[in-house]
């Protein structure tokens, strides 16, 4: 039997950092939502007690460094599953982009293997397992729109944004999340984006207020090292996107657009200097 799971990309509408913690992680307050750009996982049981990962792309690790591999190993160890699995990753989400591609694959593997091996693990427990794999994984287990606190694992589900278009542009640079958090001086932040304002804007379904309330304290850190991210932001605004922000630790910039008629100009304008541009819908 084969099992399929969709692993969607996330964007951060708000990303605030409150402080650096003793354990080295940062205490965050974020609002995340998912967009209709997804990897697809195909999972099949193997008679041999082994985990095999494959993908149509050559630029991700296929060994124990792969987050889907780690998810499979974790579930096997924790629930004493002595069967093997073959997982094929059809990658569509750009890698190391700030879109949680690896985390979403790990979450999809947890959900899929729970089904494949009929383990009956409640979703809440899958999120706890996910936290062992990465800070974004608990959110990716459930998806939707949520406020994430702690280091990302404490979730409160809130209203989805109204339907709109999301333009994603990823410059050809690699950004390490650990490096970006490492450069952030959390106690010197002068401006904090407002979680309550964004939550209210979502509750009211006010597209304009959502665009107004976008904010990410990691943006300046990444912009300092990679000025091309600023260039993409400025271009998106100039080309007519209604709200623009870097997602996560970057380098992908997303633009929210309400009117479909604006899309060709934004897409073509960005493609002039950025190869990786995607036009997707909000996943609501
Ligand atoms: C930037 C975001 O993607 C926004 O959603 C997340 O905060 C990061 O999530 P992630 O990539 O799943 O992060 P992890 O794989 O858990 O951590 C990578 C590295 O980022 C730093 N990190 C991550 C999360 C957090 N709350 N504080 C941190 O300081 C740590 O140095 C950690 O070693
Ligand atoms: N299944 C996977 N898909 C993509 N990358 C993976 C996967 N497993 C491990 N990796 C590794 O994880 C690193 C980060 O990739 P990923 O696409 O998850 O980053 P990201 O979008 O910045 O995530 P986040 O937003 O959670 O910080 C890459 O260097 C990649 O080699």
135 and 170 together in one domain: no
Structure tokens belonging to residue 89: 């990753």
CB atoms within 10 A of CB 169: 26
Ligand 2 proximity of 5 Cβ (cutoff 6 Å): no
Distance, in Å, from the CA atom of 187 to the CA atom of 27, rounded to the nearest integer, reads 12
149 and 197 together in one domain: no
- Split at pLDDT 50, 70, 90, the class of 80 is very high
Q: What is the CATH number of the domain that holds 36?
A: 3.30.230.10
Query: Which of 156, 166, 233 has its CA nearest to residue 196?
Result: 156
pTM of the model: 0.97
Q: What are the pLDDT digits (tens) for 108-121?
A: 999 999 999 999 99
In the predicted structure, residue 1 carries a pLDDT above the cut 90: no
194 and 115 together in one domain: no
The string of DSSP letters for 129-177 reads: HHHTT-TTHHHHHH-SSEEEETTTTEEEE-PPPPS-EEEEEE-S----H
136 and 213 together in one domain: no
Count of domains observed in the chain? 2
**Half-sphere exposure of residue 89: CA atoms within 13 angstroms, side-chain side:** 32
CA angle 219, 169, 172 (to 5 degrees): 85
- Ligand 1 centroid to Cα of residue 133, in Å, is 11
Find out whether 269 is annotated in a ligand binding site. no
Q: What is the CATH number of the domain that holds 206?
A: 3.30.70.890
70 and 196 together in one domain: no
29 and 77 together in one domain: yes
178 and 134 together in one domain: no
Q: What is the mean pLDDT of residues 222-248?
A: 97
136 and 203 together in one domain: no
Question: Of 138, 157, 176, which one is at a domain's C-terminal end?
Answer: 157
In the predicted structure, residue 242 carries a pLDDT above the cut 90: yes
26 and 150 together in one domain: yes
For helices 101-116 and 123-131, what crossing angle results, to 10°? 140
Question: Of 157, 184, 202, which one is at a domain's C-terminal end?
Answer: 157
Q: What are the pLDDT digits (tens) for 32-69?
A: 999 999 999 999 999 999 999 999 999 999 999 999 99
Question: Of 157, 185, 218, which one is at a domain's C-terminal end?
Answer: 157
153 and 169 together in one domain: no
Ligand 1 proximity of 12 Cβ (cutoff 6 Å): yes
50 and 147 together in one domain: yes
ipTM value for the complex: 0.97
Closest residue CA from atom 8 of ligand 2: 66
149 and 33 together in one domain: yes
Domain hosting residue 64, numbered range: 2-157
């Amino acid at each position: 039997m084969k099992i399929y799971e969709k692993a969607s990309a996330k964007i951060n509408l708000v990303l605030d950092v409150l402080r650096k913690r003793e354990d080295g992680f940062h205490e965050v307050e974020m609002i995340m939502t998912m967009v209709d750009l997804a990897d697809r996982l195909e999972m099949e049981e193997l008679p041999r007690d082994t985990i095999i990962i494959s993908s149509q792309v050559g630029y991700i690790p296929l060994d124990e460094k792969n987050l889907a591999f780690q998810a499979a190993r974790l579930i096997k160890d924790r629930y004493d599953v002595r069967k093997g699995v073959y997982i094929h990753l059809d990658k569509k989400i750009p890698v190391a982009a700030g879109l949680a591609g690896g985390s979403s694959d790990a979450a999809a593997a947890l959900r899929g293997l729970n089904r494949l091996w009929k383990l009956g693990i409640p979703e809440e427990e899958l999120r706890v397992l996910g936290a062992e794999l990465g800070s974004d994984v608990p959110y990716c287990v459930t998806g939707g729109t949520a406020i994430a606190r702690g280091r990302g694992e404490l979730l409160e589900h809130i209203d989805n944004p109204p339907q709109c278009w999301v333009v994603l542009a990823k410059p050809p640079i690699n950004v390490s999340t650990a490096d970006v958090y490492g450069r952030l001086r959390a106690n010197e932040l002068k401006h904090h984006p407002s979680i309550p304002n964004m939550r209210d804007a979502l509750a009211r379904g006010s597209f304009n207020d959502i665009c107004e309330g976008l904010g990410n304290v990691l943006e300046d850190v990444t912009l300092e090292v990679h000025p091309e991210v600023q260039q993409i932001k400025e271009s998106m605004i100039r080309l007519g996107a209604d709200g623009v922000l870097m997602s996560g630790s970057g380098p992908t910039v997303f633009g929210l657009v309400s009117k479909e008629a604006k899309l060709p100009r934004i897409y073509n304008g960005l493609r002039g200097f950025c190869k990786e541009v995607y036009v997707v819908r909000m996943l609501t």
